[in-house]
Amino acid sequence: MNTAETPKDVSLKAHEWLTGNYDNATKNEVQKLLDSSDKTPLIDAFYRDLEFGTGGLRGIMGVGTNRMNIYTVGAATQGLCNYLKIAFAALPQIGVAIGHDCRNNSRLFAETAAGIFAANGIKVYIFEDLRPTPEISFAIRELGLQSGIILTASHNPKEYNGYKAYWDDGSQIVEPHDVNIIEEVLKVNVDAIKFNGPKENIISLGADMDQKFLQKVVTVSLSPEIIKRQHDLKIVYTPIHGSGVKLIPMALEKMGFTNVIHVPEQDIVSGDFPTVISPNPEEPAAMKLAIEKAIETDADLVMASDPDADRLGIAIKNENGDFILVNGNQTVLIFLYYIISKRKELGLLKGNEYIVKTIVTSELAAEIARKNGVEYYDCYTGFKYIAEIIRENEGIKEYIGGGEESFGFMPSAFVRDKDAVSSCALMAEIAAWAKDNGRSLFEMLQDIYITYGFSKEKMKYVVRTGKTGAEEISQMMVNFRNNPPKHLAGSALSIVKDYETLIEKNLLTGTESPINQKITANVLQFFTQDGSKVSVRPSGTEPKIKFYIEVKDTLAFYADYDAIEAKTNLKIDQVMADLGL
């Protein structure tokens, strides 16, 4: 066996998996990697331990310390068990909920985790089959449990799987519990994992919990009388082979919609995602079949959810009747505009309401809130931070909506994670409201731009895989931090925000001020004098560095929309060129 090009630590780790307490199938796969003349797969599988980060686990499935398999899932679960016993030592019984999506091995990983929780004396409530992520969050709250997990890699390609952990309020875990759990996970070796606990500690969840969840989903409605008039609105919906296949059509029906059109090829549950390259509603290719079905049926609205049904993508008709994709920022704007406008109309704005957006989401969301006297919060990317703000304001202020640019929205606080089930139900109502008022969603979007200012956004990411890719991404952040651009699209930088130091520098006055965030993050933001904003951050779950670009303009007349959009697209191109993208 040629190991000359194999790092010593990689070889040692691989041989530990050959001799340790691992099953024979795993050992055989490790041996194949060792025997192969191409050492890259071996190095990528063992060059590091798959990190249980603040968002849990996510990685490519396969054998090795840097892969998703029953042993990395097992170590994460055992570490979580150990911490739950410390955090809830006073409780006579700790309980957790487990869910999973459609991905290959998701059920295996879910059942593996259930056995480990049970072996540690923890009561397990596991869904009988795949379920949307938001329902797991809801079940934790509904059952009064202390934690929960869902096996999902969200919208990543089919090679990936993941493990998200939740706390007792139904939100993903934040400090101090996140770092404490990570410490416990790091202590676990394969011999410490307690597999195969007693079956009596495991309870199945199914239709009863679905109904409780759906009863809450319909409470997001603000215009039930309009749905009655527009019940036959033509809605094309696709789950893209994932967890929304059952509950989202049921939610739309429960809201009162009677004309939901399916995409049969994508109703097939499959972790291979046979009709798409990537099951991500952010990508036009993933929406292609649904849009074709909408053209065929002359539908009013197209909606899609990702594999774990927490993200929502939509397509609407423009002024020419052609379907166009709505980006995540625009989706957030539509939701917030409707919620605030309708609440104002109904007399439901009492003065203690607030919305939440993430720092990389369009500043227009804040403008909508500001101009309507609604408080807004900025937080880091991730709905766990939105949930944290809700938790801090519980019983004091009323949360009425929040979202992020990556196609996530949470219309209500009964779920504490992004929620495509409730969002699909509410978006259908918004389309019905617009139609009832003789307008389209496209015209409604133009109304927003005319009233609050025009904003154009684009997210560009650079993928760098493996060990060398991670190093390259890290160096890119160092370079931007040490040498920020002086101009973007001809406008000088005015403000630089560095969330790693929590310092905001005003380049015009030379002053510095603190950024109001509890924890640091590896994020940089550049603001220009003409209102443009660029945010740069490495993804916490994927081998990417992401660039979020937003440029501003003014839309005075509907007829100018195409010209303003073209102008701002050119400006975004120039910003990207100035960033070297």
Q: Which listed residue (106, 147, 154, 423) is catalytic?
A: 154
The verdict on whether omega for the bond into residue 514 sits within 30 degrees of 0, i.e. cis, is no
Q: Which two tokens stand for residue 336?
A: 């917030």
Q: Which two tokens stand for residue 94?
A: 């700790």
- The sheet carrying 375-379 orders its strands as 375-379, 353-358, 398-404, 408-410
Query: Is the distance from CB of 148 to CB of 96 less than 8 angstroms?
Result: yes
Q: Within 10 Å of residue 70's Cβ, how many Cβ atoms?
A: 21
317-349: string of b/e by CB count within 10 Å (b at 16+)?
bbeeeebebbbbbbbbbbbbbbbbbbbeeeeeb
Phi, psi of 461 (to 5 degrees): -125, 150
Q: For residue 402, what are the β-bridge partners? A: 356, 410
Query: Is the distance from CB of 475 to CB of 545 less than 8 angstroms?
Result: no
Which amino acid does the sequence have at 195?
A: F
The SS3 of residue 47 is coil
CA 528, CA 578: separation in Å to the nearest integer? 13
Distance of alpha carbon 473 from its chain centroid, rounded? Answer: 21
Residue 154 is a catalytic residue: yes
CA 505, CA 48: separation in Å to the nearest integer? 36
Report how far apart the first and last C-alpha atoms of the chain are (Å, whole number): 42
The SS3 of residue 79 is helix
The three-point CA angle 464-570-568 to 5° equals 105
Which amino acid does the sequence have at 428?
A: A
Which amino acid does the sequence have at 252?
A: L
Residues 6+ apart with CB under 8 A from 272: 104, 158, 241
Greatest CA span in the chain, whole angstroms? 75
CA 286, CA 352: separation in Å to the nearest integer? 40
Question: Which are the catalytic amino acids?
Answer: 154
